[in-house]
A and B are shown apart, each in its own frame.
Chain A
């Protein structure tokens, strides 16, 4: 850490200036409860393949909560390693469910994925965190936080003792993650950071943190596995992990003006529900967790001040202008016909009645019959005919 820069003013010295504060005490208190002016969220799902549906559903459910509580898409970096909604094996395309019997579709209408598929790598994740992106990266793929930003980082996938697996081919270690956070702190890229991880042995990922203002939650301790919640029989895979399922249920009760604090979040998913023991780490955090609101990280409650002073630019004597009162006769605007829609729609309706089985099934049955008769002799045919 660089030393404190000492300031020496040569001429006329520096004395304490006259205090000119005119803030009202109550509003000042509200203003200073927390130091942040904007919120960011980095939500990462690191697993591929259809059977890791639950990791994508985890990430999307946190994304949905965070958006509902106010953080705009421009301040969310969503990284999904695989596309479950449009996966060929998804019986309900364009949906990702978090509750069985398809009660809640977390994919929604306005999901904005910033890093998708093979773009979700350890390198890209670290580049997003530290800000070392190539100059051609668009704004939506950058984490443009400043020294008064509160950042929420959520990771989910398969992990182990000290590492998290990305895309089944590489891994990020807890040392690298701690170093990335330290570099963020050196450039003051965050005011406070909440780190949530839902993987097996997740607590090992926050063991090595050493930067200030970090709070971490994990779904399981070292040596324990995080378990998945419930399968849906129609979709055929497990839909959510237990920790994130109960986290989602907890967040559904939070609204933007809610006063729930972090101690409530630590109680989410006790061992009886989660089977694993969730853990948390607050020793690097400067404020008391009981005074930290959930919406400090998950929502985006702006600080607002009334504008008291204005600059008088009007030249007195000129009244407010009004255009002449003649009604405008404007022709109604219409779109040009771009597609011959009428011709496209004129299609034959689909046949829904029964038709005999086609080639593949026919061939399969023939093969089975052939093998049967070869093994046991042609004489068994007499039982059929």
Chain B
């Protein structure tokens, strides 16, 4: 039997006790190959009883009699001190602790101009077009001429030798353009007499390349010839002119398609809005030459000169709208991915309209892009078919040949097929050097580029003659049209961004709003209000500038990387974090406060009982 050991504290492990026993008894464990028999031979069951004497036991204190609670007896000043200590700690926690915790767990939110942002939600846009109406000699009867307050009387005659009607018109237009200075967004309408030979018989309106229009009308026959009546008589025709030259209901709803209910825009405007790119600070344009057959065709294209001559003027004119970056490349052994069918009747290979949709994807995988920014990319591809599949023509739905031999995809770009089989015969030595006619190619690409950038396919109302844009690429009134729709679109998008950002920041209380975001929002709101004011005043160029500022500031604010709403905490997680921290501290405080409160109540009850 083991000797009784002195009291050892409870945390000592059983193994420690075992070794202690061995030391005192003088027995050492024998070394054997296995632990199992040795352990049981040394610690038979009856020996485990010894632990009862080794482990600490509770001191046997006298049991208190039932009904009497044992409590430490405190004197009154001690009780008072205890009570005041508890109250002081509670006061400290509530007065200093809670505000401190609140302040340190607050997220930094810079101030946003909430009032101005809520004003933006109910924004009313007013678009004003400055129109100058010039009456040519012979349109007004003499009494009308007296009554009409002429702001400017110009006695200018111009002699024009009319070789052909169209040249005459262009000259006249050019001459008139030099008469008045037109600012961006304004329109000048010249009223010419009914009997004038300038316009062909069936045409009533001629819209030139700059912002002027010639309107043929009979005004002298209007009765009651004051200025308002004259203008009222011209009203419907002038309205038509303005809707063609500036904007109409379709354009504005198309610019606002995102923010309006579906169904308000017609199909044509929807097609236009799908085709053109959304307003963006910049665009990347890539011109690619695809040569699948370098063994036979050695192609030369002077793309830099062609770009200088044909594309850059247009892009230069569009500088107030966006930045453009242009590059070009040549791809060898790039195939179309669709097998053209040979048509014996035309003795050519044909691509039907249905198969065109599948042409783009295999090619796009091969087109590299050195675009470093996130701007949208426009691709213009010139495909020269290989000698086995030449000539290659595109057929439309009615199986007719397409004159341009080109097609485009909305918001992507265009592809033109350029046949070179006419440049060489059968017995030439391959590879053949071929120079590509860039003017033809650029003519197609320019028209596709116009479509992509938002110049709509102008369907002129009956009786109108719209002068073609020609080498400049775009007429000034077309550009104005684009600027109107872009300004409206920018204002709409910017205001929507800001209002939804404010809503988001309201909803998620945990997002940190840095100073730079607040600054961006404030500058966006200011620029928006300026843009709306300029649109009301009719200054289109300034309005566009302000709207571009507004949209870039609002996009930067909305897409700032610091606004991440990763801070969603489900309620049970919040409890799980705070309870272990605060419960051990708060429970004693609350209980002591309760106890004090009960004591005070008891004291008051005793006092009242004493008084009674």
A interface, CB within 8 angstroms of B: 2-24, 26-28, 31-32, 35, 37-38, 70-74, 122-123, 126-127, 130-134, 139, 142, 144, 146-148, 173, 175-176, 179-180, 183, 186-188, 256-257, 300-315, 320-325, 327-328, 374-376
Contact = CB atoms under 8 A, between A and B. Distances in A.
29 contacts: A2-B121, A2-B499, A3-B121, A4-B259, A4-B260, A7-B252, A7-B488, A12-B238, A12-B239, A12-B242, A18-B461, A38-B412, A74-B364, A132-B559, A142-B374, A148-B274, A173-B568, A176-B568, A179-B565, A188-B258, A256-B361, A301-B357, A302-B357, A302-B360, A304-B409, A309-B457, A311-B444, A311-B468, A311-B469
B126 A300 contact: no
Contacts of A324: 433
A32 B270 CA distance: 9
Given A20-B268, A375-B33, A307 B561 contact: no
B267 A307 contact: no
Contact of B128 (A10, A26, A133, A376): A10
Contacts of B267: 21, 23, 28, 32
Contacts of B442: 313
B178 interface: no
A188 to B, nearest CB: 5
B394 A323 contact: no
Enumerate the 7 nearest inter-chain pairs by beta-carbon distance, A residue then B residue, closest first. Answer: A20-B459, A70-B361, A17-B248, A186-B500, A323-B433, A313-B443, A307-B406
B579 to A, nearest CB: 21
B109 interface: no
A137 B250 CA distance: 38
B602 interface: no
A289 to B, nearest CB: 18
B508 to A, nearest CB: 8
B95 to A, nearest CB: 36
A297 B122 CA distance: 36
Contacts of B372: 139
B435 to A, nearest CB: 5
Contact of A72 (B125, B361, B558, B568): B361
Nearest to B242: A12
Contacts of A187: 497, 500, 558
Given A5-B259, A15-B239, A320 B357 contact: no
Given A131-B559, A142-B374, A148 B470 contact: no
Given A24-B397, A74-B369, A14 B248 contact: yes
B439 A132 contact: no
Interface of B: 33-34, 120-129, 131, 235, 238-239, 242-243, 248-250, 252, 256, 258-261, 266-268, 270-271, 274-275, 278, 300, 310, 353, 356-361, 364-365, 369, 371-374, 376, 394, 396-397, 402-404, 406-412, 414, 416, 423, 429, 433-435, 437, 439-440, 442-444, 446-448, 457, 459-461, 468-471, 473, 488, 492, 495-497, 499-500, 504, 508, 536, 558-561, 563-566, 568, 570
A37 B440 contact: no
Contact of A311 (B123, B129, B252, B443): B443
B447 A307 contact: yes
A374 B34 CA distance: 9
A385 to B, nearest CB: 21
B374 A257 contact: no
Given A72-B365, A303-B410, A9 B126 contact: yes
Given A10-B127, A31-B271, A176 B566 contact: yes
Given A23-B267, A123-B566, A321-B435, A302 B497 contact: no
A2 B499 CA distance: 7
Nearest to A183: B504
Nearest to B354: A257
Contacts of A21: 266-268, 459
Contacts of A314: 437, 439-440, 443
B371 to A, nearest CB: 6
A126 B259 contact: no
A contact patch SS? loop
Given A19-B268, A35-B274, A305-B407, A27 B397 contact: yes
B62 to A, nearest CB: 57
A9 B127 contact: yes
B126 A10 contact: yes
A354 B301 CA distance: 65
A30 B364 CA distance: 23
A36 to B, nearest CB: 9
A133 B359 CA distance: 33
Nearest to A36: B274
Contacts of A17: 243, 248-250
Contacts of A300: 361
A321 B437 contact: yes
Contacts of B261: 4
A180 B278 CA distance: 22
Nearest to B400: A306
Given A37-B412, A132-B561, A8 B126 contact: yes
A240 to B, nearest CB: 26
A134 B492 contact: no
A126 B275 CA distance: 29
A307 B448 contact: yes
B407 A306 contact: yes
A27 B570 CA distance: 51
Contacts of B238: 12
Contacts of A14: 248-249, 252
B361 A302 contact: yes
Q: Which of A20, A305, A314 has the most CB of B within 10 A?
A: A305
A328 B274 CA distance: 48
A320 B500 contact: no
Contacts of B369: 74, 139
A320 B423 contact: yes
Contacts of B358: 70, 256-257, 301
Q: Which of A3, A35, A148, A310 has the most CB of B within 10 A?
A: A310
Nearest to B240: A18
A193 B443 CA distance: 38
Given A11-B128, A28-B267, A186-B500, A307 B402 contact: yes
Nearest to B130: A11
A26 B398 CA distance: 11
Contact of A310 (B412, B443, B488): B443
Contacts of B125: 5-8
Contacts of A18: 461
A139 B371 contact: yes
A19 B268 CA distance: 9
A308 B364 CA distance: 23
Contacts of A311: 443-444, 446-447, 468-470, 473
Contacts of B416: 307
A123 to B, nearest CB: 6
Given A12-B242, A304-B409, A7 B256 contact: yes
Given A313-B446, A322-B435, A5 B249 contact: no
B583 to A, nearest CB: 26
Contact of B447 (A15, A26, A301, A309): A309
A142 B235 CA distance: 51
Contacts of A123: 564, 566
Contacts of A186: 496, 500, 504
Contacts of A321: 435, 437
Nearest to A176: B568
Contacts of A257: 358
Given A5-B259, A304-B356, A322-B434, A327 B429 contact: yes
Contacts of B249: 14-17
A317 B6 CA distance: 124
Given A72-B365, A306-B353, A314-B437, A374 B33 contact: yes
Contacts of B412: 37-38, 302
A4 B258 CA distance: 10
Q: Which of A12, A37, A126, A308 has the most CB of B within 10 A?
A: A12
B443 A320 contact: no
